[in-house]
């Protein structure tokens, strides 16, 4: 670890603190403080304590840590869902993927990592403030130069035909942008929509049926992680869990309905 890197300290209750290591920087806690220099000297995967004896483990933040802690304009796609979107899109290094809206850049970071430095992410966002936040969050964590941010409404976009291996939509009314996506998504590849409400899922599927759009509804699912508290003799599901986030709708582009 060195100056400029992100560091994550975890206290004995599992609470995490994310910050950038700076020359002369100090991590302040209610029971003492720790110099950034001392954190660098100790290194990731080790422990460090304040003079008052408050102990922390030192880590490099994972992508999940970063997305949950980073500054936000819009609510980021929850990491468990973002990882599943990459899986449902069947992404691999070198692929080209389209997303909207960029929001805070949470899903963008996952997509960019899945397609790797040789792949490409095109990320549409209609609101400038959100786009700038997404660009900044990407640049401050991991930027391989494989993301192109476009300010604009995806519904108005003219995209090159058959140019994307996958499309991810995290916006309120995905049905309003389907006409832009259909020609741009390669045949037999996937569109995944992230929708908090079941009413949105129903509207999306009804619109696809009514407009006879060339998509097969593969599946709609929720990603549920049930965490456990295991400190024998205690061993039970945690009392506080992440509740509902959203439904994931996986659609496959076909030639004709």
In angstroms, rounded to a whole number, what is the distance separating the alpha carbons of residues 83 and 110?
Answer: 7
Quote the least distance from Cβ 99 to ligand SAM, whole Å: 7
The single residue among 76, 79, 119, 166 that binds ligand SAM, judged by CB under 6 A, is 76
Q: Is 174 a residue that touches ligand SAM (CB under 6 A)?
A: no
Stretch that binds ligand SAM, among 50-58, 102-110, 183-191, 202-210 (CB under 6 A): 102-110
Q: Are 54 and 48 in contact (CB under 8 A)?
A: no
Q: Is 107 a residue that touches ligand SAM (CB under 6 A)?
A: yes
Quote the least distance from Cβ 37 to ligand SAM, whole Å: 33
Range 192-251, binding ligand SAM (CB under 6 A): none
In angstroms, rounded to a whole number, what is the distance separating the alpha carbons of residues 231 and 79?
Answer: 26
Q: Which of 219, 221, 224, 225 is nearest to 247 (CA)?
A: 221
Q: Is 74 a residue that touches ligand SAM (CB under 6 A)?
A: yes
SS3 63: helix
Dihedral (C-alpha) 185, 76, 199, 184: value to the nearest 10 degrees? -10
As a residue count, the chain comes to: 257
Residue at token pair 């003079």: 51
For ligand SAM (CB under 6 A), the number of binding residues is 22
SS3 173: coil
Range 152-171, binding ligand SAM (CB under 6 A): 153-155, 170-171
Indicate the residue among 106 and 119 with the shorter CB distance to ligand SAM. 106
Quote the least distance from Cβ 63 to ligand SAM, whole Å: 12
In angstroms, rounded to a whole number, what is the distance separating the alpha carbons of residues 21 and 217?
Answer: 47
Binding mask 123-142 for ligand SAM (x = CB under 6 A): -xxxx--x------------
List residues binding ligand SAM (CB under 6 A): 74-77, 100-101, 103-107, 124-127, 130, 153-155, 170-171, 177
């Amino acid at each position: 670890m060195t100056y400029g890197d992100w560091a994550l300290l975890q206290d004995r209750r599992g609470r995490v603190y994310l910050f950038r290591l700076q020359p002369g920087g100090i991590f302040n806690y209610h029971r003492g403080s720790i110099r950034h220099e001392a954190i660098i000297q100790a290194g990731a995967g080790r422990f460090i304590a304040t003079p008052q004896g408050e102990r922390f483990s030192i880590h490099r933040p994972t992508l999940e840590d970063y997305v949950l802690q980073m500054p936000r304009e819009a609510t980021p796609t929850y990491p468990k869902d973002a990882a599943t979107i990459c899986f449902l899109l069947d992404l691999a290094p070198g692929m080209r993927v389209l997303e909207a809206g960029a929001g805070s850049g949470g899903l963008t970071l996952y997509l960019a990592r899945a397609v790797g430095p040789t792949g490409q992410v095109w990320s549409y966002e209609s609101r400038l403030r959100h786009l700038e936040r997404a660009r900044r969050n990407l640049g401050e964590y991991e930027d391989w130069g494989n993301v192109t941010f476009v300010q604009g409404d995806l519904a108005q976009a003219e995209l090159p035909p058959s140019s994307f291996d996958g499309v991810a939509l995290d916006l309120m009314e995905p049905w309003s942008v389907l006409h832009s996506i259909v020609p741009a998504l390669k045949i037999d590849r996937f569109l995944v929509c992230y929708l908090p409400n079941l009413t949105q899922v129903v509207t999306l599927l009804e619109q696809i049926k009514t407009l006879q759009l060339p998509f097969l509804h593969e599946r709609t699912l929720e990603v549920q992680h049930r965490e456990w508290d295991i400190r024998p003799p205690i061993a039970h599901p945690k009392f506080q869990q992440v509740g509902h986030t959203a439904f994931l709708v996986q659609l496959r582009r076909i030639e004709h309905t």
